Structure 1
């Protein structure tokens, strides 16, 4: 009969238990696979993936923090059923074999194939560590702003994550929010919105790209800052501009090359940053030193296991197996990366059904690795097999 047939038979015998259909992803089709089709599947550390999945399970018990894909209710219930099955294992630290069998029994692999052709596309991100202060002075004169109270969606409510953003001007009209240049020129000054002060505007720019930071204060304490909304203007990758203008060869592009360009010519660097009109706001979080950055799902991210996806398409908590060759060890290297990741975050630059940002942790070493990654690969979605759907549920 095979596993799918056995599950269908089991679903028919258990009231309320239904097969979860593969989701309909805008801009892509799904190609059914079996686990032996996944290159490197058996060699992965499934215990680590299981631990990261359990972190998402805690968030899945609560109502969703924000609206996701149209078919999210069914997929989310499938994830909750898988979480319930994980709890029935009786341990949060199963053997690697048990963890692998858990994923194979509870999920079915589907390759996401973009309609435009080609493979998936992966980048990397990390949590920067920068020098800062809670008050200005002593060279700390670059403000880090929290989300302003007058930043509203076009529908009228506050937006911590995405969507059209506006403000009401002096004449009572709703207009686009201040762009990067206006904010840098003082549009928000004097309103008490500063959560920290930095020495280097380049540090702030990279913080905004990554969506979080560890700010080391003069007394040695560390302030953890996390994404708390943006100004609604489209994100424009400055890497693309540098490549288009012939300033950095495509094959040499990395965050290190972007920083080097900005440091070597501060005026040109400032002008380049201002071409990206998007501007990110931050909030302080009470996180332990060992905790990863806070993802949009509301869980602490795990280096090498958490990923950011397009929230309009994918559901938080869903596992994704990544098959790619990445420059992990050095620039230009092609190290095999065969890893089961969990979707726990999002970002305004992460757009598309087979697009993901891989989280590598905090600090300069993680940043060096993350900054080199702009590579294709296979994006394999693990869809829950069964869900317990209440009568009348969508």
Structure 2
């Protein structure tokens, strides 16, 4: 993909608005570093297309874009994420070009960008940002906007032993390929029962279903103990939408979020098994001690970590994004500029301008993730050669945090 300079300066007006309902603009999930990994995505290693052994391309042309007049501060969690990205790049060949279908840059350039940000003195003023970095637009064809969605780590109730309430097993992956590739319907009918594959049992089959959609989660036991679950493979069957099944069967109409589907199915339990089995894909889990890492191996940071298509946007890069602010009614109320860290992949995250933002764990994170759907501009930050780091002393006044 050939990147061309922006045709004109983009003017952006940011209106300070608060989230309505339970979604707040400055909730703590933004700044808490969590070692809980990518949800609905396979925890796979890097693909060969990410790091092809070719000569590093020349730097892209300079880009210019006006961002708000606010001065930004790098939060502690963001600085930690930048440090993890820098350590990740130290394990890679600096001369290899990455994301060749998209930004097509060398690991060395990415490392220089991280070094510049980590050594920045004080706040980041918008004019200084563009003096130090080129802003490469992430475009999807003729569209000038990137698409954002959210993902999270679900928490469900569990028991170490089955009983009348906790009767839905959570399985680890079978060693046998024949057993591993059973359909969800076969597994629901007991094909894996009593084979020593049970991790735990839950009383929440719908919660388990959505945990499998996310690809990882947390089990919470009655004594308060929590155990993180990591993706342990799947039966390699295609995913089919539960909401689409409900609509096609004429069971529900209109908006079909998780709360509404869950309420309907618990009110009509005879449809529960049929509805679950409409999605033949089954995901296995394994307990982990430290929590799940992203596909890149870096810890995940709520509000900053994003899943991307690494054919276009590489791990270890830094993105400046205009993230939409969506209220509890699904209305776009404005936007906020944030620094995002590409660290993960997603089977549904494809293309040069598609990003899925991790929002944290639990119910509040789920609500935020469900409402984080919209479009905004996004730019890859690349260190500009031959410039001095901009130094700016901290001011007493409060500044928005990226």
Give the TM-score of the pair, scaled to structure 2. Answer: 0.68
Aligned residue number for residue 189 of structure 1: 193
For residue 54 of structure 1, give the secondary structure of its aligned residue in structure 2. Answer: helix
Measure, in 2, the Cα distance between the counterparts of 1:268 and 1:41: 54
What SS is found at the alignment partner of 1:303? coil
- Tell me the SS of whatever aligns to 1:113: coil
Say yes or no: does 1:34 pair with 2:32: no
Secondary structure of the corresponding residue to residue 138 of structure 2: strand
Contact 1:132 1:196 in 2 (8 A): yes
Counterparts of 2:232 and 2:384, CA distance in 1: 34
Say which SS state the counterpart of residue 58 (structure 1) adopts.
helix
Match of 1:60 in 2: 89
Report SS of the residue matched to 2:139: strand
**What is aligned with 1:156?**
none
2:303–2:357: 8 Å Cα contact kept in structure 1? yes
Instruction: Report how far residue 302 of structure 1 moved.
Output: 1.4
Distance change >3 Å, CA 234–CA 223, structure 1 → 2: same
Aligned residue number for residue 342 of structure 2: 343
Partner deviation per Cα, 1:41-71 (whole Å, 9 max, x = no partner): 845543353432222223333359xxx8457
Distance of 2:99 and 2:74 partners within structure 1? 27
After the TM superposition, which residues 321-336 of structure 1 pair with which residues of structure 2 at under 5 Å, given as runs? Answer: 321-328=320-327, 330-336=328-334
Query: Could you tell me which residue of structure 1 aligns to residue 354 of structure 2?
Result: 355
| Per-residue deviation, 1:85 | 4.3
1:361-382 CA-partner distances (Å, limit 9, x unpaired) = 1111111121223323334333
For residue 317 of structure 1, give the secondary structure of its aligned residue in structure 2: coil
The aligned length equals 326
Equivalent residue number for residue 365 of structure 1: 364
CA contact under 8 A between 2:152 and 2:214: conserved in structure 1? yes
Aligned to 1:216: 220
Q: Which runs of 5+ in 1 are unaligned?
A: 5-16, 23-30, 151-166, 170-175, 387-394
Change (3 A) 1:88 1:114: closer
Residues 42, 273 of structure 1: alpha-carbon distance in 2 compared, 3 angstrom cutoff: farther
**SS of corresponding position for 1:207:** helix
- Secondary structure (helix, strand or coil) at the match of 1:49 reads helix
Judging by fraction of residues, say which structure has more strand: 1
Partners of 1:188 and 1:381 in 2: how far apart?
46
Secondary structure, counterpart of 2:124 in structure 1: helix
TM-score scaled by length of structure 1: 0.69
Q: Distance in 1 between matches of 2:189 and 2:383?
A: 49
Structure 2 residue aligned with 1:79: 110
The one of 147, 160, 169 equivalent to 1:143 is: 169
In the alignment, the residues of structure 2 paired with residue 368 and residue 264 of structure 1 have an alpha-carbon distance, to the nearest angstrom, of 22
Larger fraction in helix? 1
Shift of 1:323: 1.9
* Aligned counterpart, 2:149: 123
Aligned-residue CA RMSD (Å): 3.7
Q: Contact 1:322–1:337 (CA<8 Å) still a contact in 2?
A: no
**Is 2:74 the partner of 1:46?**
yes
